[in-house]
């Protein structure tokens, strides 16, 4: 049971400091919630030149959380989905889109190596790697063609930034973010 204690939003407001938090969500992600958050992003960034890229990266990060988070919850219709956190923030130079969720510790090396490999590539190499992955056999535990992280890197304006925080013997909290510079 939750007590009616003070939720210190002022602390969060101060911690936000030099950026505006455009979207923030923590919980069980569903297609319906994703649609609403996407609509909010489109409205908030309607004047931004890179809105399509920013929106696509947001959706990709959200879908990764939806499908691959090791923390799962079911809704009233017994549909299961991933639990995590998503945020889009803006400062004077650009936008940062980040997601975080639990992942099994056995997947950390794969994720780390994959992101480091992607970050080491230039735009032409990323395009080639993307095409190669589309033609490759789909990994057993993949819900797609394994190109999501590559696509995020292709669209963003810098390397993907990621971090793992150990939670317990089985899981770690995986945070990943992408950045876009402002053009208007």
Give the residue numbers spanning the domain of 105.
17-135+146-181
Cβ-contact 177, 54 below 8 angstroms: no
pLDDT over threshold 60, residue 1 = no
Predicted local distance difference test score (pLDDT) of residue 145: 57
Which of these, 113, 80, 102, lies nearest to 166 by C-alpha position? 102
Q: Is the pTM of this model over 0.75?
A: yes
Please name the residues in contact with 117: beta carbons below 8 A apart, sequence gap of 6 or more.
Answer: none
Residue 5 lies inside a defined structural domain of this protein: no
Residue 57 lies inside a defined structural domain of this protein: yes
pLDDT over threshold 80, residue 97 = yes
pLDDT band at 26 (very low <50, low <70, confident <90, very high): very high
Predicted local distance difference test score (pLDDT) of residue 140: 66
Mean pLDDT of 110-133: 95
Q: Residue 46 has which token pair?
A: 């309607």
Mean pLDDT of 48-56: 92
Predicted local distance difference test score (pLDDT) of residue 70: 95
Residue 1 lies inside a defined structural domain of this protein: no
pLDDT band at 174 (very low <50, low <70, confident <90, very high): very high
Residue 11 lies inside a defined structural domain of this protein: no
Running DSSP on this structure, what letter comes out for residue 48?
-
Residue 22 lies inside a defined structural domain of this protein: yes
Which helix (H) or strand (E) is 76 found in, with range? none
Residue 24 lies inside a defined structural domain of this protein: yes
pLDDT 10s digits, 27-48: 998 888 888 998 999 888 888 8
CA angle 149, 61, 74 (to 5 degrees): 125
pLDDT over threshold 80, residue 184 = no
Cβ-contact 81, 28 below 8 angstroms: yes
CATH number of the domain that residue 126 is part of: 3.30.565.10
Residue 102 lies inside a defined structural domain of this protein: yes
Residue 46 lies inside a defined structural domain of this protein: yes
pLDDT 10s digits, 128-160: 999 998 888 776 666 665 789 999 999 999 999
Exposure pattern of 66-94 as b/e (b: 16+ CB <10 Å)?
bebbbeeeeeeeeeebbbbbbbbbbeeeb
Predicted local distance difference test score (pLDDT) of residue 76: 73
**How many domains is the chain partitioned into structurally?**
1
Max Cα–Cα distance, the chain, nearest Å: 54
Helix (H, G, I), strand (E, B) or coil at 3: coil
d(CA 31, CA 33): 6
């Amino acid at each position: 049971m939750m007590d009616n204690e003070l939720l210190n939003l002022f602390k969060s407001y101060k911690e936000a400091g030099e950026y505006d938090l455009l979207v923030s969500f923590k919980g069980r992600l569903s297609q319906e919630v994703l649609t609403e958050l996407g609509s909010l992003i489109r409205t908030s960034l309607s004047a931004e030149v890179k809105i399509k890229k920013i929106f696509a990266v947001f959706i990709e990060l959200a879908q990764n959380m939806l499908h691959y988070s090791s923390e799962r919850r079911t809704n009233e219709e017994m549909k299961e989905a991933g639990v995590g956190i998503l945020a889009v923030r803006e400062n004077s130079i650009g936008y940062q889109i980040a997601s975080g969720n639990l992942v099994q510790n056995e997947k950390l090396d794969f994720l780390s190596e994959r992101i480091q490999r992607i970050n080491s590539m230039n735009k032409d190499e990323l395009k080639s790697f993307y095409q190669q992955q589309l033609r490759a056999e789909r990994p057993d535990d993949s819900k797609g063609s394994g190109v999501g992280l590559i696509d995020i890197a292709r669209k963003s304006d810098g390397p993907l930034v990621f971090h793992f925080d150990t939670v317990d013997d089985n899981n770690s909290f995986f945070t990943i973010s992408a950045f876009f510079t402002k053009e208007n």
